[in-house]
Amino acid sequence: MKYFGTDGIRSTFGKSFLNENFSFALGQALGGFMKKNNIHGKKVLIGRDTRPSGKVLLDTFNQGLKENGFYGFSAGILPTPALAFGVIEKKMSMGVMITASHNPTQDNGFKFFSALGKKLTDSEEESIEKRILIKNRKFQSHATKSLEVLDSYINYISGLFPKDLLKNKRVVVDLSNGATQHSTPIVLKNLGADVHTLSSGSGAINDGVGSEHPEIMSQKVKDLNADFGFAHDGDGDRVIFCNSTGEVIPGDKILGLLAIHEDKHNRLPNKGFVATIHSNSGLDASLKERGINLFRANVGDRKVAEMMRKECLHLGGESSGHIVASKYLPTGDGLLTALLVTRACYESKKSIHSLSKQITLWPSVEGSFTVKEKIPIEDWAELNSTFQKVKGFLGEQGRILLRYSGTETKLRLLVEAVNPEKANKAYQSIAKIIEKAL
């Protein structure tokens, strides 16, 4: 697709297709899609993160919606999972979140949700995209009706856990100057935490802070002698952790400790868990030792959620920090994930550090290469030949993942092996061929 990627639409505002004209056309396209599919009702809940371009995109998108007889209601600035929650709670026809997630401040985009709070399928996104007809227009600002959602979300998340969950716990949280700056501190305080916030709104979203820069959170945890820390991305649908020593915990270890703990408490239906093709093979091996089945989905929390529904499972996620706990919410939620991890510590009376040691990850080497165009990998003869040779070299005790990014013009390479020297040698062999062609 031209506009949709792994997780909705994302690009640089004003320096690409993403501008007021596109936003208006996208609103029209969504309205046309809703008419064609006889989607019940005419109300669409729209939220945004803290990017400067968010307000004008919301305004023009809603004007486009109105062209087809639909009405947008602004939920204001709130996390993406809160928007999904609001769609369900307020019985809206659909939901739209204006965000570019962890991307830089100058980027923005759109994520779409059904009336059930679920992200749209590939075919639904294709149906919307083919209706986008961009024309140059002149716009005047139009007020969008507001609808309060954030308070309801805060109350819902707070009510899922014991009131003393975080009693006597000192917690550092990096809010990335983003959409979680109001909700996360309130929920943590509701559950008894001594909260210390970073990047709580005084700077630009994702600008050297948040989940892409966990070293800031890590240092603060050490400075304050905190119990643990976590960092959000700009729209709050993912989370990165560090323990009491400031050590950042790999996302696959967080996935593993959650799966193991939930299984011990009979909260893991069918003893199954979903990760992605990007997750470390050590996670697979560690869960298998405990009788837990790991299913692998394609990259993206949307794909994780789809496989969870297919296999009748309740828990899954990505190593990047997107974790879906569908018993509570149909989409990934960084705050909910942080509290589920905290509950694992609370119920087991163990630290995050101790629980994470249950997972032994294989050594890995990964990197990305900026490309001018995404040539099909199967058409790249020299690369394919080298790939097969390296695959044979690694055998059963190694794995290679080579794929294009769904959101950037990059080719990503991941090599993992039980033997770290083999992993590095294999990576260098493939990287050499890629760099030669660039």
Structure confidence by residue, pLDDT tens digits, 292-341 = 999 999 999 999 999 999 999 999 999 999 999 999 999 999 999 999 99
Quick check: is 317 in a domain? yes
DSSP-derived secondary structure letter, 314: S
pLDDT of residue 405: 87
Number of H helices, E strands in the chain: 14, 18
DSSP-derived secondary structure letter, 120: P
Q: Are residues 128 and 45 in the same domain?
A: yes
Neighbours of 3 (CB within 10 A): 19
**Pairing between β-strand 272-276 and β-strand 364-370 as defined by DSSP bridges:** unpaired
Q: What is the CATH number of the domain that holds 171?
A: 3.40.120.10
Quick check: is 344 in a domain? no
pLDDT of residue 6: 85
Across the beta sheet with 398-404, the strand order is 364-370, 410-417, 398-404
Which of these three, 151, 183, 209, is where a domain ends? 151
pLDDT of residue 171: 99
Q: Are residues 185 and 310 in the same domain?
A: no
Nearest to 399 by CA among 387, 411, 410, 383: 387
The pLDDT tens digits for 177-188 are 999 999 999 999
Quick check: is 231 in a domain? yes
Q: Are residues 181 and 204 in the same domain?
A: yes
Looking at the chain, the whole-number percentage of residues with pLDDT higher than 70 is 100
Q: Which residues lie below 8 Å from residue 401, measured CB to CB, with a gap of 6+?
A: 277, 278, 412, 413, 414, 415
Q: How far is CA 417 from CA 22, 222, 260, 401, in A?
A: 45, 32, 23, 12
pLDDT of residue 210: 98
Q: Are residues 262 and 165 in the same domain?
A: no
Quick check: is 350 in a domain? no
Q: In 119-142, which positions are buried (b, 16+ CB within 10 angstroms) versus exposed (e)?
A: bbeeeebebbbebbeeeeeeeeee
Quick check: is 81 in a domain? yes
Q: Are residues 375 and 307 in the same domain?
A: no
**How many domains would you assign to the chain?**
4
218 lies in which domain range? 160-248
Q: Are residues 127 and 20 in the same domain?
A: yes
The pLDDT tens digits for 52-69 are 999 999 999 999 999 999
| 101 labelled catalytic | yes
CB 113 within 8 A of CB 120: yes
Which of these three, 93, 117, 151, is where a domain ends? 151
pTM over 0.85: yes
Quick check: is 342 in a domain? no
Quick check: is 407 in a domain? yes
pLDDT of residue 140: 83
Which residue numbers in the chain have pLDDT < 50? none
Which of these three, 125, 151, 177, is where a domain ends? 151
Q: Are residues 103 and 209 in the same domain?
A: no
pLDDT of residue 364: 96
Q: Are residues 64 and 101 in the same domain?
A: yes
pLDDT of residue 408: 78
pLDDT of residue 347: 98
Residue ranges of E strands in 298-360? 315-317, 323-325
Long-range contacts of 268-274 (CB under 8 A, 24+ apart): 268/292, 268/313, 268/314, 268/315, 269/312, 269/313, 269/314, 270/311, 270/312, 270/313, 272/311, 272/313, 273/313, 273/315, 273/316, 274/304, 274/307, 274/308, 274/311, 274/313, 274/315, 274/316, 274/317
Catalytic one of 74, 101, 114, 286: 101
Query: CA-to-CA distance for 320 and 337, rounded, in angstroms?
Result: 12
Quick check: is 348 in a domain? no
Q: Are residues 390 and 370 in the same domain?
A: yes
pLDDT of residue 307: 98
Q: Are residues 194 and 322 in the same domain?
A: no
pLDDT of residue 437: 84
Q: What is the CATH number of the domain that holds 410?
A: 3.30.310.50
